[in-house]
Copies of this chain bind each other. A is one copy, B any other.
Amino acid sequence: MIRYERFFKLEANEEKSRLMMNAFGFLMHEKEKGISGYYNLPIDGENLLKEINSYIIQEDEVYQNAENIVVIGIGGSSLGAKAIDSMLRHKYNNLKKLLFLENPDPVSISKTLNRIKKHNSIFVVISKSGGTIETTSIFKTVLKEFDMDLKSEDAKRVLIISDEGSPLCKFADFYGIKAFTIPKNVGGRFSVLSSVGIVPLSLAGYDMRNVLKGAKHMIKRFFNSKEEHIAIKALYYCKNYQKTPINVLFSYADFLEDFTKWFIQLWAESLGKIDKDGKNVGLTPVAHIGSIDQHSFLQLIMQGPRDKTVTFIKVEDFENDLKIPDISLKYIEKTDYINNHTFNELINAECDATKESLVKEGIPVDTITLDKVNEENVGELIAYFELLTSYAGAIFDINTYDQPGVEFGKKILVKKFKGN
């Protein structure tokens, strides 16, 4: 269960009601016409889970011996799986390791390659377009490093995830490598609940059915007009994008850090656009972890320019009863007031205290409270932020799903190596 609370007001008026209705209608249209496919991923998920299960049964020996699921993919192809892995790992025993070969940074690639061996790894190569230079380069390096021959049994420990008909899918077909496809109408940053996230996470041992279920219910409730808070928040953010251009996500749990990275790419890339009037619109996401950043970034929120909204994510029950022991140490007795309380209580009281001090300052604050971290809540949280993003995009009246601005650099890069 997740609770959403808002500590700022959106004054209602006719224009706002009209904007909200329009945006809602637009999302409904996107969903029904298949303009954006992510709304249906939780429903398609059943078939995908079956497909994954077939692979596991068919390649039983490879799968049983695999200790590492190695994802080769960057950005939208890895951030989602990484986020879910970080949130849920502490709740499982006996998961396979999930490793990411992502950045073309030679030091980190070398480090990861040193941790794995061919015989105990499955390599999941993920690229929506099928031609991501970082991903294909790292894949080739893996082939060389582990002396892999794709015409041998080695092909069984490679999986491809890509758009149907993409170069990478054709490649897979040519070598008889198992490929999972990504629906064409699902963009990279909205793809975590497609094969992009579900395949590596399922192979690692996660129960992805309940993640999908959590997302499915959220999307259903949203389209049944039962999650109006999403519309209100999106509208408030968009209407005030010049006054509060920075949206801070302040999460009180270390295991949420990778999730906030997933959110940042989703929010930044979807909403940072030139709108129909030629205006540069967008909102800048920033993520912080409490209580650590209470000791620093909080100062800027409290006393710096009033250009920020703040969303707190809090986990009510960490399902861990580690306590501050009842020890009194000479000269630091002043801190004894916390003795016998749990760390769970301490970190959440810090979250509440910080929230209260920001609300008192009149800073627009809202909170997302998970009763606990489990698969369903994770799925709901993902769907929540995806819907919030789509809604904001509809209000900005932009294309939420493209990314023309990242193409310029790619062209310059190719020129650097190939010449003109």
Instruction: Tell me which residues from 151 to 189 in chain A have a Cβ below 8 Å from any Cβ of chain B.
Output: 167-168, 170-171, 174-175, 188-189
B-side contacts of A103, CB under 8 Å:
254, 289-292, 347
Chain A interface helix/strand/loop/mixed: helix
Asked if A92 is at the interface of the complex by the 8 Å CB criterion, the answer is no
Given A269-B299, A322-B106, are A335 and B286 also a contact pair (CB < 8 Å)? no
A297–B408 alpha-carbon span in the complex (Å): 14
Interface string of A279-308 (1 = CB under 8 A from B): 011111010011111111111111111111
B-side contacts of A25, CB under 8 Å:
none
B-side contacts of A322, CB under 8 Å:
106, 109-110, 141
- Cβ contact within 8 Å between B338 and A133: yes
- Cβ contact within 8 Å between B245 and A307: yes
A137–B291 alpha-carbon span in the complex (Å): 13
A75–B291 alpha-carbon span in the complex (Å): 9
Closest to A144 in B: B325
Q: What are 11 inter-chain pairs, A to B, with CB distance below 8 A?
A: A76-B296, A90-B111, A108-B254, A167-B331, A241-B305, A265-B293, A269-B300, A296-B403, A298-B405, A302-B408, A338-B417
Instruction: Tell me which residues from 310 to 345 in chain A have a Cβ below 8 Å from any Cβ of chain B.
Output: 318, 320-325, 327, 329-332, 334-335, 337-339, 341-344
- Cβ contact within 8 Å between A167 and B337: no
Asked if A216 is at the interface of the complex by the 8 Å CB criterion, the answer is no
- Give, as a whole number of angstroms, the nearest-CB distance from A337 to chain B: 5
Contact segment of A26-34, A63-71, A352-360: A352-360
Interface core residue of A102, A104, A170 (most chain B CB under 10 Å): A104
- Give, as a whole number of angstroms, the nearest-CB distance from A284 to chain B: 6
Asked if A49 is at the interface of the complex by the 8 Å CB criterion, the answer is no
- Cβ contact within 8 Å between B130 and A332: yes
A280–B337 alpha-carbon span in the complex (Å): 34
Q: Give residues in A with beta carbon < 8 Å to B.
A: 74-76, 90, 102-111, 130-131, 133-134, 136-137, 140-141, 143-144, 167-168, 170-171, 174-175, 188-189, 241-242, 245-246, 252-255, 264-266, 268-269, 271-274, 280-284, 286, 289-308, 318, 320-325, 327, 329-332, 334-335, 337-339, 341-344, 346-347, 349-350, 352-354, 356-357, 360, 403-406, 408-410, 412-414, 416-418
- Cβ contact within 8 Å between B296 and A246: no
* A171 touches which of B75, B269, B329 (Cβ 8 Å): B329
Given A141-B322, A343-B105, A344-B106, are A75 and B327 also a contact pair (CB < 8 Å)? no
- A105-B255, A140-B324, A284-B304 known; 8 new pairs, CB 8 Å cut-off, are A106-B342, A107-B318, A107-B320, A294-B409, A299-B404, A337-B414, A349-B417, A353-B410
B-side contacts of A111, CB under 8 Å:
90
B-side contacts of A332, CB under 8 Å:
130-131, 136, 167-168, 171
Given A76-B296, A327-B144, are A335 and B269 also a contact pair (CB < 8 Å)? no
* A412 touches which of B170, B293, B323, B356 (Cβ 8 Å): B356
- Give, as a whole number of angstroms, the nearest-CB distance from A310 to chain B: 12
- Cβ contact within 8 Å between B245 and A413: no
B-side contacts of A143, CB under 8 Å:
325, 327
- Cβ contact within 8 Å between B325 and A303: no
Interface core residue of A300, A301, A324 (most chain B CB under 10 Å): A300
* A354 touches which of B90, B299, B409 (Cβ 8 Å): B409
